[in-house]
A and B are shown apart, each in its own frame.
Chain A
Amino acid sequence: MNAAPLLRMTGIDKSFLGVRVLHGVDLELRSGELHALVGENGAGKSTLMKVLAGVHRPDGGRIEIDGAEVSFDHPSRARRAGVSTVFQEFNLLPERTVAQNVFLGREILSRGLVDDRAMERTTAELLDDLGLEGISPRARVRHLSVAEQQVVEIVKALSHDARVISMDEPTAALADHEVEVLYRIIARLRERGVGVLYVSHRLKEIFDLADTITVLKDGHRVDTVPADDIAPADLVRRMVGRPVSSVFPERLEPHGEHVGRVRLAVSGGGNTRLDGIDLEVRGGEIVGLAGLQGSGRTEIAHALFGVDRFTRGEVHVDGRRVDPRSPRRAIRAGLALVTEDRKARGLALEQSVTANARLVLDAVNPFGSARRAARVPGLLSSLELVARGGPRQEVRYLSGGNQQKVVLAKWLVTDPGVMVLDEPTRGIDVGAKQAVYTLMRELAAAGVAVLLISSELPELIGMSDRLVVLDDGRVAGELPGGSDEETVMALATGATREAVS
């Protein structure tokens, strides 16, 4: 065994806008090894990969390859040094062929002209090496399945003579039988001495594949252990388990007429991203949707709200069957959705506070909206909205927390029966968070059915009466409010079922 590892990262620091996301992270990768990187959402896994890929420059620390220090200021520099990354979102041109994509930017020339044949031949050889003769180097990428596109990304990486390949959630979009193909490819890569850095939320894969596991939490490296020396439950424990820092407001005395009645019921809901979703939310109840990124939380919100509709199953609101084919219909049925992406989907940034707050009302119930709109100023002040320019100020000049209050006002004024909140406290300050929490309690007490989606487990656990945990587009189980984080994470990562089986 040679002494210097293939890749060594030491003391990697990275901050964004003053927020420290990586705190002196160390990582070593040996030739032929698969090193898995695990952690909760926001633990810093993706940032670390992007530092390695040359997308982000680290603020501090060293990266060494074969013991020699390197510095990547551009992804192409990283690739030239033998480090390739397969990102979650694909970096392929759909209108070009497989071979053209593989050699993009380094087209093979013969006598000054691009030699398509040579590129196709080389691509075919690389594909054959991986045992994937099925993909034609001349096929347009647009015609390939997601799994095949992933293979093209890997081949692209290999064509650079990559010695380190890092993969960010490579199975996120794959079906089970496609995952097996990926396993096979990874095995071949390792036989050749390529070091693989692997990020995944799925514990099963981690234990199937990894030699070594590094756990990240809140930007710190918690531990690096051989995969054989740790049990799934133990791993989950190291991923979570932080002190609960925020305090959540107490439940209020319910008073609305709808309290206790089922206001939202989904049975057997499904579409291309979801399957067999059964869900019930009663008036006065806050139900939390837990799950990892991509597990289907936002997809449920979108399906309820008619953005990407359910193609199977039924939705009932207040006992009436509804078919939310469009957001307009969903709103008429009494639903409200506070979207995850406030700026792009929640607000018209260049319009005033008032215009935004009245947006839904004016659009969906234009007649007789004046009476309800009269409540807007009161609502805004009850939310303690701080807008220096008053209600005519353009929303883009408000802080994140105040913008979120405008979004909330926009929905409150429609008197929704069911309120879906997707990451309502993302990127807002502590004070605004408290306001959002208090508002949720008040809504629930008034008989509104609240569905809360959040990546922040403490928030979800602290606010919800019940938790519905999703895994891979399905309901993995239901837990009472106040369950501990490990139990939730175990369900969400599939570790529970692993442990049982």
Chain B
Amino acid sequence: MTPSPSPLRDLLDRAGTTGAVYAALAGVLVIGSLFVAFQGSHLFTAANTVDLFTRGSLLGFLAIGQTLVILCRSLDLSVGYVAALSTMVSAIVMAGDPSRIVLGIGATLGLAALIGLVNGLVVTRLRVNPFITTLGTGLLIKGYLDTRFQGPAGSIPAEFQTFGLSRIGVLPVSTLVMLALAVLAILFLRRTRMGFHMYAVGGDSEVARLSGIRPEIPVITAHVLCSMTAGIAGLLLASRFGTGNTLVYNNGYELEAIAAVVLGGTYLLGGRGGVAGTMAGVFILATLDTVFNTLSVDPFVKDVLRGAIVIAAVAVYARGRHGRTSVRPRFTSGGAPPAPPPPPPPTATPSARGGDR
């Protein structure tokens, strides 16, 4: 029997992916500020920092929810549309009246949760592929918004606009709320049964089922929570604009959120990853945007660079994951039995190795 991994390896494994993603974030910040300094300006001016955090908060809400869904081996492409719908619902329900703020928030999150419930039920009960399911609900919402509204509608009371606009020093309030939610999500995944079962279902839903878990429950829960974070993102957008705006869905938020999740080291096929990594992914993307803006990079080039970075990151994570099998070699190349203890397991986990180059 081989000795089990050393405490050091165990530690590296635990820190593994997430540590690597934070190292990458630090790298992006350093390299970005060098580029900006090259142009004779400064990346960490107050204006730039606020810009970075503001970008981070919106993407952060969407990516937290998306992380839960992806961990369960599902996907949610409807979040951009849910966010757009949420801006309208909140602005129309609040109608500029401060006393209706709570009602507006409740209605928005309630409707978002309902959409998530539908997504979750269709995926688990009707067994429709999550890609198709959420693309479908997204298009349904888009169709409704396009026929019902011609432009901005409703109005957000000034009191609620503080959620999107006020800040403490360079830290926007929305970013603080987002980070608090991220901490809650991390606790949820690491310290609750439901969180554990999300990992189980995403890792192998048959193993989960045989262990007495009902595999639909975590998936449905993840979809509800994901839609609700999209609702929060909608609330944030509405409070920034002051009105509801249907065109929010044109911004491709769902894909950016998925990119942040994957960049954060969560395995697209489920069962591995977490919100801590996602936060790093979110801020890597936000930093890139801020750097590109400061450098006035052509928007097309910007997209090309962003795409290349996401692909490269995932390629690095995927390395070494490939070829891992549960079948232990019975004969090693010497061929003389009894075979020596199997080679130590692929130590540096694909992702851990991937990141710490």
Contacts and interface: CB of A to CB of B under 8 A. Distances in A.
Interface of A: 74-76, 79, 89-96, 100, 104-107, 109, 112-114, 116, 132, 134-136, 138-140, 142-149, 151, 173, 175-178, 181, 270-276, 311-312, 472-473
B333 A105 contact: no
Contact of B207 (A92, A106, A113): A92
A271 B347 contact: no
B304 interface: no
A96 B200 contact: yes
B316 interface: no
B250 interface: no
The 4 closest A-B pairs by CB, nearest first: A272-B329, A76-B212, A105-B211, A146-B328
A93 B330 CA distance: 23
13 contacts: A93-B199, A93-B200, A95-B199, A96-B200, A104-B211, A105-B197, A116-B190, A140-B349, A147-B328, A271-B331, A272-B330, A273-B327, A275-B335
Contacts, number: 151
B324 A142 contact: yes
A114 B196 contact: yes
A272 B187 CA distance: 43
Given A275-B331, A312-B335, A96 B199 contact: yes
Interface in B155-191: 187, 190-191
A181 B4 CA distance: 15
B136 interface: no
Interface stretch (B77-85, B142-150, B223-231, B336-344): B336-344
Residue among B199, B203, B333, B346 having the largest count of chain A Cβ atoms under 10 Å: B203
A176 B337 contact: yes
B319 interface: no
B342 A139 contact: no
Given A93-B204, A142-B324, A176 B338 contact: yes
A146 B212 contact: no
Contacts of A311: 333
B272 interface: yes
Contacts of B203: 93-96
A93 B345 contact: no
Interface residues of B, number: 51
B326 A181 contact: no
A346 B332 CA distance: 30
Main secondary structure of the interface of A (DSSP, over half): loop
A91 B13 contact: no
Interface of B: 1-5, 7, 9-10, 13-14, 187, 190-193, 195-197, 199-200, 203-204, 206-208, 210-213, 267, 271-272, 324, 326-333, 335, 337-339, 341-342, 345-347, 349
Contacts of B190: 114, 116
A104 B208 contact: yes
A289 B215 CA distance: 43
Nearest to A173: B328
B338 A175 contact: yes
B196 A107 contact: yes
A29 B135 CA distance: 55
A113 B191 contact: yes
Given A92-B207, A144-B345, A145-B1, A139 B331 contact: no
Given A104-B213, A138-B10, A275-B331, A177 B5 contact: no
Contact of B200 (A79, A104, A140, A270): A104
Given A95-B203, A114-B196, A139-B4, 13 more contacts: A91-B207, A105-B212, A138-B10, A140-B5, A142-B324, A144-B2, A145-B1, A173-B327, A173-B328, A175-B337, A270-B335, A273-B331, A311-B333
A70 B2 CA distance: 40
Residue among B4, B197, B208, B339 having the largest count of chain A Cβ atoms under 10 Å: B4
Contact of A147 (B1, B192, B331, B332): B1
B337 A275 contact: yes
Contacts of B342: 145-146, 175
Contacts of B330: 173, 175, 272-273, 275, 472-473
Residue among A138, A272, A472 having the largest count of chain B Cβ atoms under 10 Å: A272
A149 B199 CA distance: 19
Given A175-B339, A273-B331, A93 B271 contact: yes
